[in-house]
Amino acid sequence: MSEGTPAVALLREAAALVYVANLESPALDAGDAHHLSTVLRLQAGEVVAISDGAGRYRGCRVAGGAGARRSERRRARPATITLVPDTDVSTLARVGPLLTVGFSLAKGDRTDWAVAKLSELGIDRIVPLLCERTAVRWGPQAAAHQHRRLQRIARESSMQARRVWLPEIVELTLLAQAPSLLGAGGGWAGGGEVGVSGAGGGVALAEPGGGRLSLATSAVLVGPEGGFTDRELGTGLPRVSLGDTILRIETAAIVAGAILAGLRGGYVGAQQGIEAPAVTPDR
């Protein structure tokens, strides 16, 4: 691999991306080793990108652990694979503002699905919310277990999306506590982020009839089925609209995340000089 390989090219062209604790001496956990060796069946010489999940990454070559043979898989032999660093360590700066999407717990696997897709979109912080009308309720033990599950889901989705900055999965949060937790400007109260460029925005509730979503509100909170209660809407937070239709919890979370990511990346925005076509009424 040439030393001048751009970050985007390295991350896209690598056979996989995995997270490791030490970029100098990368050691894979059992699950990642199994995925590379047995599922992807990587061969010696193939390129794998490694990252610490905090913006630092480098390219490696597979030196051992070629794809397991069928007979080995039947015997459930533990996967072994060795990664040898092949490029210098690079750092990808984190672009601001940090994007946050919070959403009410949803039934079934819909919370898992939303976390996976928000991770793929590049959302920085994902906040499971407990609102007055939230139908799903977790006790303390269940909440701790689910938090670990959601962290794992976010990690796996971020690997697939080739993210070198892992999203933060916040513990289950009461809606009433979310504004003070997020603090002014949409950032965590009590401290800033190192290496983040761009001013942060405020916190807003996703609500039909609200204003246009912009980076002025880079933290968006989505309510449960049935919406926020009047008491929740009376907190004084601004409201933003996600469209003219009524969306499911997970759909609204993804829409909010996609718009925010597009605005930050410059992929979407106000179109200048384009007029909407005239609509002719039916006769």
**What pLDDT, on a 0 to 100 scale, did the predictor assign at position 217?**
93
Q: Taking 60 as the threshold, does the pLDDT of residue 78 lie above it?
A: no
Task: Give per-residue pLDDT as tens, 135-180.
Answer: 999 999 999 999 999 999 999 999 999 999 999 999 999 999 998 8
The Cβ-side half-sphere exposure at 136, using a 13 Å CA radius, reads 20
Terminal CA-CA length for the chain: 65
247 band by pLDDT with thresholds 50, 70 and 90: very high
Task: Give per-residue pLDDT as tens, 34-64.
Answer: 989 889 899 999 999 999 999 999 999 998 6
What SS3 class is residue 173?
strand
Angle at 62 (CA atoms; ends 61, 66), nearest 5 degrees? 160
- Which domains are assigned to the chain? 7-91 (2.40.240.20), 94-265 (3.40.1280.10)
pTM of the model: 0.83
Q: What percent of the chain has pLDDT over 90?
A: 67
* Helix 110-121, helix 249-265: angle, nearest 10: 0
Q: Taking 50 as the threshold, does the pLDDT of residue 283 lie above it?
A: no
- Rounded CA separation 239/233 (Å): 9
